[in-house]
Structure 1
């Protein structure tokens, strides 16, 4: 696909077809990188951004105040019917 540089104020730009924008998930703020003599544009929003910090900041299950969701000594019919030999 060929595009033409167009003047935008004191800069130049290109028009990116809406199908390309949609297919690449581009919206809002973007990351722009010069790579191997070309321009590489990626979405700035990364779906998993911040996950590591959130996991690190969360309490470890062994030290969490709420304890286990299901107590270790809880009986249920599944244990009686499905795990018996």
Structure 2
């Protein structure tokens, strides 16, 4: 797609089609980098956005146990209310 580069204050920009933004899930912020003479724009993902789903998946697969089972204390066993 051919686009016009427009002046935005002291910077320049291009208009992106709304459909593209929706398909990418692009919100108000994005990651932008220059790679091999190309401008690459990617959606900004929250680092922990998928943790809940991953933990549920781990539980279903029985992978939710402590890596070092001996790291509990007497407080964990006696005072903590599970």
Q: Same fold (TM over 0.5)?
A: yes
Aligned mates of 2:19, 2:29 — CA distance in 1:
18
Structure 1: segments with no counterpart, 5+ residues: 67-85
Q: Which runs of 5+ in 2 are unaligned?
A: 56-64
The answer to whether 1:34 aligns with 2:7 is no
Distance 1:44 1:24 in 2: 10
Q: Does 1:6 align with 2:6?
A: yes
Match of 1:60 among 63, 66, 71: 66
In the TM superposition, residue 60 of structure 1 has moved relative to its aligned partner by 2.8
What is the number of residues matched between the two proteins?
58
Three-state SS of the structure 1 residue aligned to 2:28 is coil
Aligned to 2:4, the other structure's residue is in SS state coil
TM, length-normalised to structure 1: 0.56
Task: Tell me which stretches of 4 or more aligned residues in structure 1 moved more than 4 Å.
Answer: 61-65
